[in-house]
Amino acid sequence: MKLRLAAVGAAMAAMVTLGFGMVPAAQAASWPYGCPSGATCAYPGINFTGGAGPVYGNNTNDQQYSKWANVESVLNNGTQCTDWVWQNQGYKGNNIEIPIGYQNQNLSGTWAWHHLYSNHWCNPT
């Protein structure tokens, strides 16, 4: 019983540490919701609806892509590392990190709702 509670406690601590509602993606048949391998994808609807808007590499202006400018859910289907995403162009403002295989299905109520305007892979710049 103690081991089980410790495991539950560790899992809860990990989710709190990750913050921002980022959770490991359930490996359901629909994963990764049309997001190509190697990309981080923004979706203009909650629950990964509206079609994937993939980005690869570092981008100082994701706002030019309508799905990023109107993001409501996001996931990292990368193959190498965490992707950091920022509120503003040029890696400015608030940021969150999205480890490989992590997702947020509903950004409602957060600063990121319709505001992920730049991203940088593997380190926060």
Whether residue 55 is contained in a domain is answered as: yes
Look at the chain and report how many structural domains it folds into.
1
pLDDT at 15 over 70: no
Q: Please, which pLDDT band fits residue 21 given cuts at 50, 70 and 90? A: confident
Summarised one tens digit per residue, pLDDT across range 43-93 is 999 999 999 999 999 999 999 999 999 999 999 999 999 999 999 999 999
Whether residue 109 is contained in a domain is answered as: yes
pTM for the complete prediction?
0.79
Whether residue 6 is contained in a domain is answered as: no
Boundaries of domain holding 75:
22-121
pLDDT score, position 20: 65
Whether residue 8 is contained in a domain is answered as: no
What is the distance between the alpha carbons of residues 99 and 63, in angstroms, rounded to a whole number?
A: 21
Whether residue 4 is contained in a domain is answered as: no
What is the distance between the alpha carbons of residues 113 and 72, in angstroms, rounded to a whole number?
A: 6
Whether residue 3 is contained in a domain is answered as: no
Distance set, CA 79 to CA 1, 55, 64, 122 (Å): 37, 13, 24, 11
Question: Could you tell me the two tokens for 29?
Answer: 């048949």
Whether residue 54 is contained in a domain is answered as: yes
CATH classification at residue 87: 2.60.20.10
Whether residue 1 is contained in a domain is answered as: no
Summarised one tens digit per residue, pLDDT across range 27-43 is 555 779 999 999 999 99
pLDDT score, position 80: 94
